Each structure stands twice: as C-alpha cells, then as structure tokens.
A and B are shown apart, each in its own frame.
Chain A
C-alpha cells in the first residue's frame, strides 16, 4: 500500500510569488490535514479536509488556502510569498473525520523563499 505522497519535495520561490503544493493520501483515506513546521514555531496546523469540505482551519492569514478533490487528493496554495513562509509543509491522511485513529504523514515539501 503506497504511503502519503507529497510533491514536490523541494521548492525555491521568490518573495511575492505564489506556490501550490500537492498531497495524495493513502488509498481509501478521505481526510487530509496540512501542517507547517518551522524551527521556531514547531508543527502548526493549517487546515483539514474531509469529503472535499474544510473541517478545521488554523490561525494563518488568508494567503494560505487549500482544497480537496473528489479523489481525496489535496492541494494547498500560498500566495504573495514572504520570507517567513519558508518551512517544511507536511500533509497527513487518515481514514475519516473526526480523527479517531492515527494520521499518516508524508515526507513533506520543503519550501524556501528567497
């Protein structure tokens, strides 16, 4: 069974640009969550989707957005990139929502904003 797949693994973008990250969950999983990981702030929750509907949203500005497709794949978008957006972005998938068992994480997309 394939794990959670995040693409791309690495990205370098310039301030002011926008970026789209992709996450393919484990087959059969219908819930996808996104986290931002930085050395200073640790793992911070961005948003959570189940059945194409956003179920929870973290405390991030509107520049951060996401969506989930009918095949459960998810994308997140960051517009008008800032240096502080440099981070490891992690996606997690789980069977359902609310979460009542473990979440499985992808290897992440490392975004560097220059």
Chain B
C-alpha cells in the first residue's frame, strides 16, 4: 500500500524567508502527487498537483514543488512566505485504484 512521509511535523519560519516542506512517498510504478493546505476550521484546498510532464509544478499563492522519481520525493517550496501562509500542509499520493493517501501534515508557522 502507498504511504506518505512528511518529515517535519512543525516548521517555524520568519516572514519573507524561504521555506521547504518535505514529502517522501513509497515507490510505485505510476503515482499522482498533491499538496493541500488547511486553514483553521476549514477543509482542504489544493495547492498544486503532479500528474505527468514537467517535474517542476507551480501552484497557487506562489508555491511550487518538484517531483523527484529517483528519490521518491515531492518537496514543497516558497521563496518568500507571508503571515497568511500560516496553516497546515498535507502531501498526498494516489496510485492505480487506491484512494488518496495523506501524510501526517506539516504545521507551518510564519513569524513576523
């Protein structure tokens, strides 16, 4: 079965600094990868997705992620964070007929 590991449960970062949230998935022949964001008392909102094609994926709010098949990673990056980026971020994977499988989440705290 597919699994997703988010290596950091909490990431504090100063405003306007860059950030990277790490995600590794268990290997499979063909996977689709997603990053979702969750604000307090809200559902999940899609940030970006990798289905095929270019390994560098750009999403909303200035986020981007790079699919690395050899390292089975899909790390999320933003060059300059804002206070409004404070939220919980979830990496997710799907393969074949399996349902969407999520990592445990990374809580990003942006410090003014």
Contacts and interface: CB of A to CB of B under 8 A. Distances in A.
Contacts, number: 55
What is the size category of the interface that chain B forms with chain A?
A: 20 to 34
What is the size category of the interface that chain A forms with chain B?
A: 20 to 34
Contacts of B94: 98-99
Contact of B32 (A90, A100, A106, A107): A100
A104 B45 CA distance: 7
A10 to B, nearest CB: 10
A42 B104 contact: yes
Residue of B41, B99, B101 with most chain A CB atoms under a 10 A cut-off:
B99
A33 B100 contact: yes
Interface of B: 32, 34, 36, 41-46, 49, 51, 90, 94, 96-105
List of 7 A-B pairs having minimum Cβ-Cβ separation, nearest first? A105-B43, A43-B102, A105-B44, A42-B104, A107-B43, A98-B97, A56-B99
